[in-house]
Amino acid sequence: MAGQLGVLNALDAAKTQWYHFTAIVIAGMGFFTDAYDLFCISLVTKLLGRIYYTEENAPKPGILPPAVQSAVTGVALVGTLAGQLFFGWLGDKLGRKKVYGLTLMLMVISSVASGLSFGRSPDGVMATLCFFRFWLGFGIGGDYPLSATIMSEYANKRTRGAFIAAVFAMQGFGILTGGVVALIVASVFDHKYNAPTYAQNKSASLVLPAFDYVWRIILMFGAIPAALTYYWRMKMPETARYTALVAKNAKQAAKDMAKVLQVEIDAEEEKLNEMNQRNKYGLFSKEFAKRHGLHLVGTTTTWFLLDIAFYSQNLFQKDIFSAIGWIPGAKDMSAIDEVFRIAKAQTLIALCSTVPGYWFTVALIDHIGRFAIQLIGFFFMTVFMFALAIPYDHWKKSGNKIGFVIMYSLTFFFANFGPNATTFVVPAEIFPARLRSTCHGISAAAGKAGAIVGAFGFLYASQSTDPSQVEHGYHTGIGVKNSLVVLGVVNLLGLVFTFLVPESKGKSLEELSGENEEEEEGGDQGNEEKVSRVAVPI
């Protein structure tokens, strides 16, 4: 029986080379843009409310009505879910590279268009903003399965987890950059206009049309990093695993990877034919259900549960900081000062916990494994969420607010040194090549379904139980304290479902997916001897 193809062995055993870092940067810049575009909206929703919904002589500045807030916050997530399913499927049908450029261009165009948001009336601006953010999300959705699959299929098996996690870790820099850009833009406008607080002078606290440019600049900035990487994304060759195992062109796969690895590699067409004969089952077959059904349940449920908590925390951290008094009441700030303070809070959280959490995962994932990191992450997210929720009244006292922020930051740290990274990595490793992008897209879409639940659910649930404290247009909810308890339970469930996900550390993709399971005994030894002849270190 034939063993592993030489070209795939060469990739699995290759020493870390320049093309690995090139692939990380090219794919990672997509994720940098993804995170920037998805989370920068939380920086400007308060400003949008002031600009378009402030009533003359009202005691408080305007806020987005509940339906508009839900749409503006959640429509990109809906688009992302649709894009993950569609482009995940398309990536397995047409190839990773062919679809990769399309998603990036869609992100660039939609990012610019969402900042333009044609119209002058509140309804017109919000409708066009939502329309373009849906298509922005659609492009972002395609980046998830394609970037993960491309990186997993390029990487060697020894450091594959770190490479995929490094691509995903660019999310942290995207979130951080969103805060920094908002700080810079807000500072420039604040310095120029020096607007008073709403309580001091209602009309002067909002300078129009100048402040209307602030949110547009912040949203459109996301197009720049994506546009800069388009050329290099188009120069990447198709992955050898897709070319050989899906397109069934062993000669082209060997030719492409020979250029990348700078070695001679045999095409081995007969061996490829034998592998393809053994692996024909589809996504909805009994064979897939038997081999990978529980794995898919595990990757979808854990990502779904993780994103309920993660997106609730990210998109509504401004509301939580306001609830504990870390950010003053809206009437005690000017419109631009509110943007600055919200951006400052998000930047501090990203700098102190979000970014370090991602890179702890990169450093340790190939040493302690995906399973252990995911368990650790869910466990400590549960612990810290309950530690925030149960004594919530204690944290609201003025002397304890810094402690609350530290505890809240730790939940972000363990989300990223935990399931937020591993739920992205594992689906790109454990499924067959011909279904890898599709299954990753399904898993990611389940995550975005959780994000939608978190975004919409937390918005309403976190409203106060006291009718006098509820924001205009909302009904009473269960309050921030009980909402945090719910998120703690969600994290605990994520820990339980982690036991359905296999450990993939140190194994080849074909070994994990079962595409090589009928190898002859001793085949690995022969393969290792062959690899030693073709893998060339830098």
Are 404 and 363 in contact, with CB atoms under 8 Å apart? Answer: no
The whole-number average pLDDT for the span 110-129 is 89
DSSP code for 308: H
Q: Write down the mean pLDDT value for the chain.
A: 84
Mind listing the pLDDT tens digit for each residue in 438-464? 999 999 999 999 988 887 777 677 777
Are 17 and 538 in contact, with CB atoms under 8 Å apart? Answer: yes
Instruction: Please tell me the predicted confidence (pLDDT) of residue 320.
Output: 64
The CA distance from 291 to 285, in Å, is 10
CA distances from 135 to 48, 81, 147, 439, 500 (A): 20, 11, 18, 22, 33
Please, which residues have CB within 8 angstroms of residue 16's CB and are 6 or more apart in sequence? 156, 159, 538
Q: Report whether pLDDT(537) > 70.
A: no
Tokens of 446: 């389940």
The CA distance from 200 to 188, in Å, is 21
Q: Report whether pLDDT(247) > 90.
A: no
Helix (H) or strand (E) holding 490: helix 479-497
Instruction: Please tell me the predicted confidence (pLDDT) of residue 427.
Output: 95
Q: Report whether pLDDT(436) > 70.
A: yes
Tokens of 435: 């279904």
Tokens of 130: 């939502």
Q: For residue 304, with 0-12 CB atoms within 10 Å meaning exposed, 13-18 middle and 19 or more buried, which class applies?
A: buried
CA distances from 132 to 126, 142, 448 (A): 10, 16, 18
DSSP code for 208: T
Give the distance, in angstroms, between the CA of residue 198 and the centroid of all CA atoms in the same chain. Answer: 36
Residue 26 or 419, more confident = 419
Are 139 and 30 in contact, with CB atoms under 8 Å apart? Answer: no
Q: Report which residue type is found at 143.
A: D
**Cis amide leading into 427 (omega within 30):** no
DSSP secondary structure letters along 346-359: HHHHIIIIIHHHHH
Tokens of 290: 């038997």
Q: Report whether pLDDT(526) > 60.
A: no
The CA distance from 413 to 405, in Å, is 12
Mind listing the pLDDT tens digit for each residue in 2-38? 456 667 777 777 777 777 888 888 888 888 988 899 8
> Which among 38, 40, 61 has a CA at the least distance from the CA of 448?
38
Candidate ranges 110-119, 245-254, 259-268; pick with highest mean pLDDT: 110-119
Instruction: Please tell me the predicted confidence (pLDDT) of residue 520.
Output: 39
Q: Report whether pLDDT(531) > 60.
A: no
Number of residues assigned to the chain: 538
The CA distance from 109 to 230, in Å, is 12
Q: Report which residue type is found at 102.
A: L
Residue with tokens 């005691």: 59
Question: Which residue segments constitute the domains of the chain, with CATH numbers given?
Answer: 6-277+290-512 (1.20.1250.20)
Q: Report whether pLDDT(303) > 80.
A: yes
Q: For residue 298, with 0-12 CB atoms within 10 Å meaning exposed, 13-18 middle and 19 or more buried, which class applies?
A: buried
Tokens of 1: 């029986």
Are 26 and 143 in contact, with CB atoms under 8 Å apart? Answer: no
Residue with tokens 């833009």: 185
CA distances from 234 to 23, 103, 226, 476 (A): 12, 12, 12, 51
The whole-number average pLDDT for the span 305-332 is 75
> Which among 38, 311, 10, 33 has a CA at the least distance from the CA of 147?
33
Q: Report whether pLDDT(191) > 60.
A: yes
Are 420 and 365 in contact, with CB atoms under 8 Å apart? Answer: no
Instruction: Please tell me the predicted confidence (pLDDT) of residue 524.
Output: 43
Mind listing the pLDDT tens digit for each residue in 331-365? 888 999 989 988 988 888 888 888 899 999 999 99
Tokens of 521: 């005994």
